[in-house]
Amino acid sequence: MTQYGNRKINDIMLPSPSERQQLFYLLKKLSSLTAWQRILGFYNAWADATENSVREADDRGWTNETSLSHSEYAYILKCLAHCEEGVMRLKKGDKRVFKFDANGEFAMARRILSHYSQLLERIDIGENRIDEEHTPRWAEFREALIQLAKAWGECAKYILESRFTDEAAPVRYNEWLKELLHSRKYPPLLHEVPKASTQLKQSLPDRHLEGGWEQIVFNIPRNDARNDTMLYYPRHGDESKKLQNALSAAEYDKLDAAQREDYVSLRESINHPNISGPFDTGWGYSDFGGAGLGEKIGLPSLPGQTTKLNH
């Protein structure tokens, strides 16, 4: 039986044509401007609740006792600004805001939300405590946080790019996703899934390259010599600046979870003996506008890589 990496080809689940349409509809909905404008509304409400608490603590002379400090409020506003910028760019059609790099506005907006969501869990199980007596409107702050986290989780877990380039895409087709797709409601008529430029070739106008079915990942320990050589660059959020002062994987592994949020990973080289390429195939490289026909793309040696288009 054909095997690629540690996955048997016959064991890979493939969505049906109708399921692919449902999945495309779902991803478009979760990445839509409407969805993220709604999330921004919850983010603003959370920031307002924080401001109300901080202001009231100041008025009562509890500035040094409150569990919601001015610095925490300033950090929330900083992350809120990234969410606002992400929605503004999304309105212009810029989908790069979902990436984990200098364009990843929502990844940067997520940092303080992740921190407080984890803190809330630790408070609920008794690991951490809040001085509610000197933290005005804590219940209001907590409820606004819960509402934001719920709205964020409904979309972000399917859309936002992982910080690790060797992790699979957020959405994988499996029994769980199959049940999710079948449980949702859809319009009577679903559009065909458009072909990306990576699936088209000018010299073969009646054929397309099958793609988007299953991502194959080599899962090996990060300290294995066969793993990719990775560099980790500080995120500065300014597209005009160059990435510099990279950390090695060993240096990056010494950082705590909060510090790692400030870095983006880039692959320097592929070291696995079972991966070769990239090879010049003539197929497009970029999924945007058909650009990059002269670029290179590595393809697995799998059967049935091209499929005749049905007109």
In a domain, 288, yes or no: yes
In a domain, 84, yes or no: yes
Q: Which residues form the domain of 250?
A: 229-269
Among the candidates 141, 159, 177, a domain finishes at: 159
Could you tell me if 138 and 199 lie in one domain?
no
In a domain, 180, yes or no: no
Q: What pLDDT, on a 0 to 100 scale, did the predictor assign at position 289? A: 38
In a domain, 60, yes or no: yes
Rounded distance between C-alpha atoms, residue 134 and residue 67, angstroms: 7
Could you tell me if 148 and 31 lie in one domain?
yes
Could you tell me if 82 and 141 lie in one domain?
yes
Could you tell me if 207 and 305 lie in one domain?
yes
In this predicted model, what pLDDT tens digit does every residue of 204-229 receive, in sequence order?
A: 767 666 554 444 556 677 677 777 78
In a domain, 154, yes or no: yes
In a domain, 165, yes or no: no
What percentage of residues in the chain have a pLDDT greater than 70?
73
Could you tell me if 72 and 125 lie in one domain?
yes
Rounded distance between C-alpha atoms, residue 306 and residue 27, angstroms: 25
Our CA dihedral for 71, 74, 78, 83, rounded to 10 degrees, sits at 120
Give the pLDDT band of residue 306 (cuts 50, 70, 90): very low
Instruction: Judge whether residue 168 has pLDDT over 70.
Output: no
Could you tell me if 302 and 200 lie in one domain?
yes
Which tokens belong to 24?
Answer: 């495309």
Among the candidates 159, 181, 203, a domain finishes at: 159
Q: Provide the residue count of the chain.
A: 311
In this predicted model, what pLDDT tens digit does every residue of 40-98 receive, in sequence order?
A: 999 999 999 999 999 999 999 999 999 999 999 999 999 999 999 999 999 998 988 99
DSSP state of 297: B
In a domain, 291, yes or no: yes
- Overall domain count for the chain: 3
Q: What share of the chain is helix, strand, coil (3-state, %, to 5)?
A: 45, 10, 50
* Average pLDDT of the residues of the chain: 79
**Cβ neighbours of residue 200 under 8 Å, at least 6 residues apart?**
208, 209, 283, 284, 290
In a domain, 152, yes or no: yes
Asked whether 9 and 214 are in contact (CB, 8 A), the reply is no
Could you tell me if 252 and 202 lie in one domain?
no
